[in-house]
Chain A
Amino acid sequence: MIPINAVFGLGLLIFFIGLFGVLFRKNLVIMLMSLELLLNGVNVLLAGLSYHMRSPRGSIFAIFIILMAVSEAAVGFGLVLSFFRQKKTYDMDEFNELKG
């Protein structure tokens, strides 16, 4: 039996590293990658709880989260491409106006 504190620590640690990446990096693509890390951390928590409670509910929620991550990546990359066509850069500091 894997101790539940280890699962919690691992999930929160991956979430922490992803949060760090979202807040500190300025590269748009690396920020999107850090978002994937956040979602992976949550998935580890859900799978661990599912394992400890012997119920498939956590895995089912994790499946839906993976689905949401795929949608987010697809739309996010559409936005990155159209942003790059306009500004010719990746830097989030250029991302400061709403005018198209």
Chain B
Amino acid sequence: MIARLVFYFFALLAVLSSVFVVTRKNAMHSVMYLAFTVLSVAGIFFSLQAEYLGAIQILVYGGGIVVLYIFVIIIVNLNEIKPERRKLFPKMFIFALPALLFLQIINVLFMNRPTPPAGPESGLTFTAFAEMLFSSYLVPFEIASILLLAVLIGAVIVARKKLTHDSD
């Protein structure tokens, strides 16, 4: 009962703040609401007994990505944005896609679904998590480290300032 209340509380916070993320005009306000959304999603993970996931969410999203967004917005001057206006045909298209998805959400919310088969109660512990990550998913884990190295080098190369006598 308490877990359900906590889940609904954080769900409400996450949905409200994510609406503010996409509707605020000022990008800095959007970043602050994004941080709020990320922390509420971490609360949702905690209420779903995924403690490791929640901790990683707070560390990586709340500590890393949000700060990265803030730095980029400070670096880039934001005052020259034209008012947002679109033509009619693209507007119709971009209305249709979210409308279809919203119908699907309504459908999912009121559908009677058979509950998935539940495994043993010990399946949610840290031990089970770590054992599965470092046995069944060892190869993806190592590939992920290569991905991070590639991103580290690639981001530096893409974002560097080109000198005028640079040949490429």
Could you give, for residues 31-67 of chain A, a 1 whenever the CB lies within 8 Å of some chain B CB and a 0 otherwise?
0111011001001100111111111111110111011
Do B48 and A70 have beta carbons less than 8 Å apart?
no
Do A8 and B49 have beta carbons less than 8 Å apart?
no
Chain B, range 123-168, C-beta contacts under 8 Å to A: 123-124, 128-129, 132-133, 137, 140, 144, 147-148, 151-152, 154-159, 161
Which residues from A are CB-within-8-Å of B155? 74-75, 77-78
Do A51 and B49 have beta carbons less than 8 Å apart?
yes
Which residues from A are CB-within-8-Å of B101? 12, 15-16, 19
Chain B, range 79-126, C-beta contacts under 8 Å to A: 80-82, 84, 94, 97-98, 101-102, 104-105, 108-111, 113, 115-121, 123-124
Do A24 and B22 have beta carbons less than 8 Å apart?
yes
Do A29 and B80 have beta carbons less than 8 Å apart?
no
Do B41 and A16 have beta carbons less than 8 Å apart?
no
Q: List 15 A-B contacts (CB under 8 A).
A: A2-B48, A5-B113, A9-B105, A17-B19, A19-B98, A20-B98, A21-B21, A23-B94, A29-B76, A37-B22, A44-B44, A60-B133, A66-B56, A67-B148, A78-B154
